[in-house]
Amino acid sequence: MNDERYQFLFDAWSESRLTPAEATALSALLRTDPEARARFRTDAAFHGQLHAALDGLNLDQATAPTKPIDFPSRSRTLGLAAMLLAVGLTVASLGWLLSARAEHAETRPLGIHDGGFEALKGHMPDGFPSEIFTWGGDPSEVASVAGHPTALRFLEAAGEPNIPNSPRQSCDVFQVIGLKSVRTELLTSSEAYVELQANIHDARPAHAQPVRFIAKVYVFEGDPASIVGNWPPAADQVLGSGAQFQVMHGGAGWQTLTTRCVLPPTAGFLVVQLGAGSAGQPGQASPKLGAQYADDIRLTLRTRQNKAELAAR
C-alpha cells in the first residue's frame, strides 16, 4: 500500500471533497487491499465519521474483492495465442493483454423525480416522504427566482419530528430513491459511486447573517419502505453517506453543491437531503429563512468495470 496516496485519499474523503477520479481510486483500493481496509476502519473511527453500520461485516461487504478473472482453459489459451501470433502479436504481447487492467466506465442518471420542481405547485408536502420518488420535508414551497421559473424555496427551519424539543437548526427536504433498476450494475461493477448535484442561491443582500446549505446522500440496504416513518435513521441503519456544505451571506449568484458517496454492492436505496439553516455550532437555531433556494437537482450513478472481467463473463 502506498501510504502517501492512501492518506491523500482518506483526507479527501473525510472532508467530503473527493473528485470522481479519487472516489474511484479509493473504492478500488479498499476493495483490493486488506491493509488499506483495516487502516481505513481505524482512521474513520478515530475521526468519528464511520457509521456504526460500517462495522467489520458491512465494511467487508462494501469492499469485497471483485470477481476474479476467469481465464480460459489451457487449450483455449493456446488457441488464442496462435490466433494473436497470426496477426503479428508476440507471446509477450499476449501476456500483457491478459494482465492489463483496461477499464470500462459508465455514467447514467438515477431516477430522481422532479429535480427541477416543475411538477410541484405551491407548498412542499409536510414531513418525510411516505413514498419513494416524491419530495417532502420541512416548510418550503416552489417559487420563481432569479431566472428560475420553478425552484425550491426554504421557508422555515424545523426540529426533528421524532425527537421532542430538538432545536430548529435547518429546513430540510428529502426524496427516497430506489436502486432496483441498477441492481445489476452494482453487483457486477468493480467500483460504483453516486454523485449528487444541486444549484443553490441566497437572494438576500450581501453581508447578511450566514446561512449554511447542505446537499447530502445516505445509502441504505433493504427495501425503501423500511425508512418511511423511521426518520431520522439509527446509526446502524446507514451504510454510508456523502455531504457537501456551503455557507452563504447573500449578494451572490447561483452556485453548485456536489457530493459523492461510494456505493457498496448491497445498496438498496438512497435518501437525498437538501437543506438550509444554521451555520453556527450544533444546536444553534437557524436564522430567518425565506430567501434561500435550490434547483436543478441531479443524481448520477458512475460505475467502472474491468474489460478483462467483462470478457470473462
**147-183, pLDDT tens digit by residue?**
899 999 999 999 877 777 788 899 999 999 999 988 8
| Cell numbers standing for residue 22 | 479519487
Domain holding 227, by residue range, is 109-307
Of 50, 68, 87, the last residue of a domain is 50
Q: Which of 13, 35, 50 is at the close of a domain?
A: 50
Q: How far is CA 261 from CA 18, 184, 243, 258, 306, in A?
A: 9, 18, 8, 11, 21
Tell the burial category of 246 from Cβ atoms under 10 Å away from its Cβ (0-12, 13-18, 19+).
Answer: middle
Same domain, 41 and 146: no
Structural domain includes residue 234: yes
Q: Let me know whether 133 and 253 are in one domain.
A: yes
Same domain, 191 and 46: no
pLDDT of residue 268: 92
Closest residue by Cα to residue 154 from 143, 165, 168: 143
Are 200 and 123 within one domain? yes
**217 plus 303 within the same structural domain:** yes
Coil, helix or strand for 195? strand
Q: Same domain, yes or no, for 278 and 174?
A: yes
Answer yes or no: are the C-beta atoms of 172 and 215 closer than 8 Å: no
Contact 104, 310 (CB under 8 A): yes
- Domain assignment present for residue 104? The answer is no
- Cβ proximity of 168 and 159 under 8 Å: yes
**294 CB-contact burial (10 Å; exposed 0-12 / middle 13-18 / buried 19+):** buried
- Do residues 40 and 131 both lie within one domain? no
| Domain-located, residue 86 | no
Same domain, 189 and 302: yes
> In this structure, are 114 and 248 located in the same domain?
yes
| Domain match, 173 and 295 both | yes
Place of cell 438512497: 270
pLDDT level of residue 266 (50, 70, 90 thresholds): confident
Quick check: is 189 in a domain?
yes
Q: Across-strand partners of 178? A: 269
**Tens of pLDDT, residues 137-149:** 999 999 999 889 9
> Angle formed by the axes of helices 74-86 and 91-99, to 10°?
120
Residues 6+ apart with CB under 8 A from 3: none
Quick one: 83 exposed, middle or buried, by C-beta within 10 A (0-12, 13-18, 19+)?
Answer: exposed
* Mean predicted confidence (pLDDT) in 19-40: 79
Residues 140 and 10 in one domain: no
Domain count for the chain, please give it. 2
Please report whether residue 93 resides in a domain: no
Q: Where is 176: in which H helix or E strand?
A: strand 170-178
pLDDT in tens, 97-150: 223 334 567 888 888 899 999 998 899 999 999 999 999 999 999 999 988 999
Spatial separation of the C-alpha atoms in residues 112 and 297, rounded to whole Å: 8
CATH of the domain at 226: 2.60.120.260
In a domain, 56, yes or no: no
- CB distance 151 to 144 below 8 Å: yes
- 312 within a domain of the structure (yes/no): no
| pLDDT classification of 36: cutoffs 50, 70, 90 | confident
Do 132 and 262 belong to one domain? yes
Q: Is residue 65 part of a domain?
A: no
